[in-house]
Amino acid sequence: MELRDPVYGFIFVNELERDILNSFAFQRLRRIKQLGLTDMIYHCANHNRFEHSIGVMHLASQMFDAIISREQNRRLLKDILKIDDTGFARDRQLVRLAALLHDVGHAPFSHASEDIMPHNPRTGKPYQHEDYSVAVIDNYLKDVIEKHDLNQNYHITVAEIAALITGNKAVLRSRAFWKVLISSQLDADRSDYLMRDSLHIGVKYGIYDYHRLLNVLAVAADPASGSVILGLEDGGWHVAESVVIARYHMFKQVYFHRVRCAYDYHLKNFMAKILPNGKLPAPTDSESYLTYDDVFIWHMLLENRYDVDAQAILNRNYIRRIFSLPDIPSSADTQQLERVKMELNRRGIWFEEIRSEKLWYSLFVEGDPHKEIMIIDERTRIPKPLSFYSPLIQNIGAIRKSRLYVKPEDSSKAEAFLPDIQKKA
């Protein structure tokens, strides 16, 4: 079966993948927007997790094929990972399934509602959407996958798929290498969403030369551990830099947009009020969890349309930003923020400080070569971190946004005294 995709054109789907697509758990992704309420700012941002997941599967396959199509890469993988041609075919299908299902556990409005996921009693930390994906795969897709006729030669288990999503090396063993195609700084997930989000939103920030990226994918042996490292040929390091810069601009201009952050604030508040105990169900209750999607939340917004947060979303009566710190604030900037907060308190004006932070690129960590994008010297085959080649990458830092918001009816009043505070700085 072939599907038309706005990014890649035609995408081939086999019978096993088709049956997964047709399952209740996966069809739910049609009802979960990729970018939450971003369409309230960029009106064409209506794409969903369904199409993104299919795109990630396709791109992960292209990356896999690009790697093993080169004899040098294929030979190294055979030598170190002990994979034969049959093993390559099995691994390719495993990668496709993990890529297809990596987001099947996303909450309503995607990342916007992750703050209301409950805590894992075992770790004491909040559950992540990957925990839900693993639970959904195990509880709802086990028979579809493990008993499918197309899987009788491969015998791929849902435990392996889950392990590839979470990076469980104990289950994957040498196959853990393929995790880099699912989750890393050069994975199919972010490589797809940068292009897809840009296309639907109508911006160019996330566009990069993905054909060139595929053409320069390479593998090498880590000199320290002997393990396999995914990287790029040194002649193509500029495309790696462009992917990093594309991600930076998308976070700055889209994902951390000041109005998007305001809508996320109202959405989280509203969901916390309507959900039992103010939290989404735990992964152990995946049956209840799967009943929550964007459609359900929109229904609840209409049912509770007189709620202040519902009104903010339904009537675009959201909180307004009045003050922002620069990306790299000085001590004077921070002091000014505190003066604005003090003045708001003095005047009895309600405000909310919303902070957004993202480390959009991880620099090289000794002993963990997968942390940074690695560039492989064509002659010596020795991998070096991208930051060795790119001065720009050497000097990057996390995106940290700190903004003050007030109620819409107070915005003019608050903005009126800001110039006086700035003069005193």
Residue 297, token pair as written in the block = 């939340």
Instruction: Name the residue with tokens 């900037």.
Output: 333
CATH number of residue 418's parent domain:
3.30.70
Region 272-286 average pLDDT? 94
Among residues 5, 29, 374, which one has the least CA distance to residue 218?
Answer: 374
> Could you tell me if 214 and 335 lie in one domain?
no
Give the whole-angstrom CA distance, residue 393 versus residue 396.
5
Residue 114, token pair as written in the block = 């992750």
State how far the alpha carbon of 17 is from the alpha carbons of 32, 56, 127, 151, in Å: 20, 13, 27, 11
**What is the pLDDT at residue 377?**
92
Q: How many CB atoms lie within 10 A of CB 125?
A: 8
Per residue in 159-182, pLDDT (tens digit) is 999 999 998 888 888 788 899 999
The verdict on residue 281 lying in a domain is no
Per residue in 180-199, pLDDT (tens digit) is 999 988 899 999 999 999 99
> Could you tell me if 392 and 414 lie in one domain?
no
> Could you tell me if 157 and 190 lie in one domain?
yes
Per residue in 117-148, pLDDT (tens digit) is 999 999 999 999 999 999 999 999 999 999 99
Per residue in 247-270, pLDDT (tens digit) is 989 998 999 999 999 999 999 999
> Could you tell me if 166 and 57 lie in one domain?
yes
Give the whole-angstrom CA distance, residue 348 versus residue 366.
51
With a CB cutoff of 8 Å and minimum separation 6, the contacts of 67 are 73, 77, 217, 218, 219, 230
The verdict on residue 114 lying in a domain is no
Structural domain range at position 166 = 2-104+141-256+361-396
- Asked if pLDDT for residue 332 goes beyond 70, the answer is yes
> Could you tell me if 339 and 211 lie in one domain?
no
> Could you tell me if 327 and 381 lie in one domain?
no
> Could you tell me if 355 and 376 lie in one domain?
no
Per residue in 306-317, pLDDT (tens digit) is 999 999 999 999
DSSP assigned state of 216: T
The verdict on residue 157 lying in a domain is yes
Residue 113, token pair as written in the block = 């509602």
> Could you tell me if 347 and 368 lie in one domain?
no
**What is the pLDDT at residue 177?**
87
Among residues 29, 111, 38, which one has the least CA distance to residue 292?
Answer: 29
300 φ/ψ sector (left φ>0, alpha ψ -120 to 50, else beta): alpha
> Could you tell me if 340 and 231 lie in one domain?
no
CATH number of residue 149's parent domain:
1.10.3210.10
The verdict on residue 265 lying in a domain is no
- Asked if pLDDT for residue 373 goes beyond 80, the answer is yes
DSSP assigned state of 406: E
Domains held by the chain: number: 2
